[in-house]
Amino acid sequence: MTGLAGAASILLVEDDEATRTSIATFLRGHGHDVRDVSDAASATAAWGAGRPDLIVLDLGLPDRDGATVIRHVRREATTPILVLSARDREADKIAALDHGADDYMTKPFGMGELRARIDALIRRAAGPVADLDGEIRIRSLTIDVGRRLVTVGDVPVHLTPREYEVLKVLASHAGRLVTHGRLLRAVWGTEYSDEAHYIHVYISQIRRKLKAADPDGVLDGLIVAEPGVGYRVAWS
């Protein structure tokens, strides 16, 4: 792991030659070391040989479904995996994320957004979000995990225990898409894994409280919704 968003080793798995070439050229132009392959067998071989910092993966591969690559990698490592796919059904997104993907982009997509998603995943993977004092810092937001305190700049934010847990889970996975099911299981427990409406209410309350403590709008867009799938905390 390089730990640098601008100089990472990336394994690109995409069977469409034009798309693969375009993405690889773009990423190399931004300083990344890119190994590009076109099928699942080559992807698992390249993964074993090179152990990249991040994987950009299409699901519709000619030999096997891209989910097999996710499962293979997850047996051995937590390497960030960004799925790029023409499959836009919520069920496909959720399945890929539940297999272990960290983020999901639907084709067609913009190269600027692709770069932002990659940078966020690499930044997240470079080390724990919490610092040595047990604090999570994202923009002007600070979460003191040890004392369960939340501040925006110097302004305290008074969250209920459940609101705090929702925000902490999302912030500790900053840059990654957390599905409704994962968030529900982490905060409410396995028996609530299908009660996504709980999350919407709590996210709304958290956003309102953060906004009240953030008159300059530094945290605008902090919690991003992927409709029907989940939420992510955006670094910037």
- Nearest to residue 14, comparing CAs of 46, 61, 49? 61
What pTM was computed for the model?
Answer: 0.71
Q: Which domains does the chain have, with CATH numbers?
A: 9-125 (3.40.50.2300), 135-233 (1.10.10.10)
* Greatest CA separation for the chain: 54
Summarised one tens digit per residue, pLDDT across range 100-147 is: 899 999 999 999 999 999 988 887 765 545 554 578 899 999 998 878
Summarised one tens digit per residue, pLDDT across range 180-207 is: 888 888 888 767 666 778 899 999 999 9
Backbone angles phi, psi at 123, to 5 degrees: -60, -40
